Amino acid sequence: MKALPRLGMVRWLVWRDVTLTWRRRSDAVATLVFLVMVVSLFPLTVGPDSRLLQSIAPGVVWVAALLASTMGLSRLFSDDYADGTLEQLLLLPQPVYVVVLAKVLAQWIVFAVPLAALAPVLALQFGLSHDTPLVLTASLVLGIPTILLIGSVGAALTLGLRGAASLTSLLVMPLYIPTLIFGAGAAHASLGGGSPAANMRLLGATLILALVFAPWAASAALKVSLE
């Protein structure tokens, strides 16, 4: 019976955050423009070598998507913290991790879904064909939630600090390395004619670990930051 109120609270929080983000949709547009610029500049600098372009494509797209996904992390809690809404949310009769999960889900809907949809299209600039763009999309769909969940811990730890955006990146960037390796590895395996299944399973396992531990860690960090 407790799961139903929590589910309703998650839906309300997600709808609220998506609506607020839509009102400042310039942030989402800036994220997509950043992704397009970074990915599009590489073919211009590397040259017309098709084999080289294909070999670097998964890594380039994944690094660009990772950096784009982290652009809005510092604002995950800061806006609500600035106007006092966050303290009120934490007083609701729901676990704090519900608030964290809802905010991460809203961030995923607004930023990550367009990123995952756009990245494979941009990868066509590198001459990728066959199933590789689809594998790239699937790896981003699995990997970006992990990035956001881990990033939520960093955003909670640096809440209210000066230079929070830079501090968040410094704290969580090393933790992204496994996700980056597995995500790009899945596309590389498909590009080489192999099976991406092993890397996709590892991505899924990383996502499960992040879902289990990150919300609780972010919840504890929020409570400390608000004290």
Mean pLDDT of the chain: 82
2: pLDDT strictly greater than 60: no
* Burial category of 44 from C-beta neighbours within 10 Å (exposed 0-12, middle 13-18, buried 19 and up): exposed
128-142 pLDDT, tens digit each: 766 788 888 889 888
Alpha helix (H) ranges present in the chain? 3-23, 26-46, 50-69, 75-82, 85-90, 96-107, 113-123, 132-157, 164-172, 177-191, 197-226
CA distance 114 to 72: 14
Q: Residues of the chain with pLDDT > 90: what percent?
A: 14
Res. 17 pLDDT band, cuts 50 70 90:
confident
What pLDDT was estimated at residue 32?
83
**SS3 of residue 71 by DSSP:** coil
How large is the average pLDDT for residues 209-217?
Answer: 91
What pLDDT was estimated at residue 187?
87
More confident residue, 163 or 212: 212
- The terminus-to-terminus CA distance of the chain in angstroms comes to 32
What pLDDT was estimated at residue 3?
47
- Domain residue ranges in the chain: 3-226
How large is the average pLDDT for residues 93-120?
Answer: 82
What pLDDT was estimated at residue 4?
41
What pLDDT was estimated at residue 146?
92
What pLDDT was estimated at residue 6?
63
CA distance 131 to 109: 24
What pLDDT was estimated at residue 206?
94
pTM of the model: 0.88
5: pLDDT strictly greater than 70: no
CA distance 121 to 150: 27
What pLDDT was estimated at residue 31?
80
196-212 pLDDT, tens digit each: 899 999 999 999 999 99
Q: What is the DSSP letter of 131?
A: T
